[in-house]
Amino acid sequence: MPVAYVMHGLFYNKKILRELKLEPPSTWDQFYQLLSQVAASQSVTPLALGTADMWESTQVVFTGLGPNFWEGEKARQGLMDGTVKFTDPGFLRAWQMMAQLKPYMHPQQNSMSNSDIQLLFASGNAAVYPSGSWDIDFLRSTSFAYKKPIDLGVFKPPVEHEGQACHISVHPDFGIGVNKNSPNQAAALKFIAWLGTADFALLLTDTLTGYFSLADHKVKINDPLGQEMMSWRSQCQDTIRLNAQKINRVWPSMEEELWYANVKVLNQDITPEQAARHIQSVHEKNVYLK
């Protein structure tokens, strides 16, 4: 039973931006300018992002912030039908975006895990945190635990220029199934049936903030950040994480290869062009393309 999806975006500390007289950006030029001004203040880390766990480089930065560069679903479908390559300009510009982020990250970012980065931001020591709706409750709870309440805001991934169509990564996050060998199948199927009801959809939305129901039922979202992120779906086009469908069918998987390449781009160990060529060479091994 499909249960919930999450959405990608960038959280920001409203207090920090307010004190520096800065506004949430809508374009990448504005975003780089914001990071530069935070860096110049020498007060906090501009960008809460680490590479020790590696997955964030792909699941948050590349596939979460990249769709505006490659036109979202159009390019994802093109990769699968062979009309688009990872060496095409849109993907190259996404890697070029990533290659510019290192100066704004924490000096020890290479050894910082996702948990370290969450704490850095939630405790008020970073201005912007690229992540997704799944982190809303965690960030609030962590800031509360450290007695540093955070005035949390969120903005959607920037576009390259004003007026450009935007694309949002909407990730089908989890579902629940029944073990066919379970001795309690009847009870399990009854539970699964309940997961498809309007009552469960409402309970999920109110209890697990940032996880949006995959049910057909209309569900009211009460959390203000959840409301803000949901509003993006009426402003932008949906896509999913780039390699989630079919594109992982190589060995090692495309997911692993993207982690490897994207961390190196963020750390400025390889160029965007090198990353593009490597990932395209991996993609060409995909059996479904033959």
Q: The CATH number of the domain where 53 resides is what?
A: 3.40.190.10
Residue 92 has pLDDT above 80, yes or no: yes
Instruction: List Cβ neighbours of 63 (8 Å cut-off, separation of 6 or more).
Output: 8, 169, 241, 242, 243, 258
Tokens, residue 84: 């688009």
What mean pLDDT do residues 18-23 have?
A: 97
- Within-domain flag for 180: no
Rounded to an integer, what distance in angstroms lies between the CA atom of residue 126 and that of residue 119? 9
The phi and psi torsions of 172 (rounded to 5 degrees) equal: -65, 110
Residue 126: the pLDDT is 97
pLDDT band at 143 (very low <50, low <70, confident <90, very high): confident
Residue 252 has pLDDT above 80, yes or no: yes
pLDDT band at 229 (very low <50, low <70, confident <90, very high): very high
What mean pLDDT do residues 210-225 have?
A: 92
pLDDT band at 290 (very low <50, low <70, confident <90, very high): low
> Per the structure, how many domains does the chain have?
1
Local structure of 5: helix, strand or coil: strand
Domain of 102?
7-172+238-289
Q: Tell me: the pLDDT tens digits for 114-128?
A: 999 999 999 999 999
Residue 49: the pLDDT is 98
- Within-domain flag for 65: yes
- Within-domain flag for 189: no
Local structure of 170: helix, strand or coil: strand
- Within-domain flag for 135: yes
pLDDT band at 145 (very low <50, low <70, confident <90, very high): confident
Residue 69: the pLDDT is 98
Residue 139: the pLDDT is 93
pTM (2 d.p.): 0.94
Residue 168: the pLDDT is 97
- Within-domain flag for 193: no
Residue 197 has pLDDT above 90, yes or no: yes
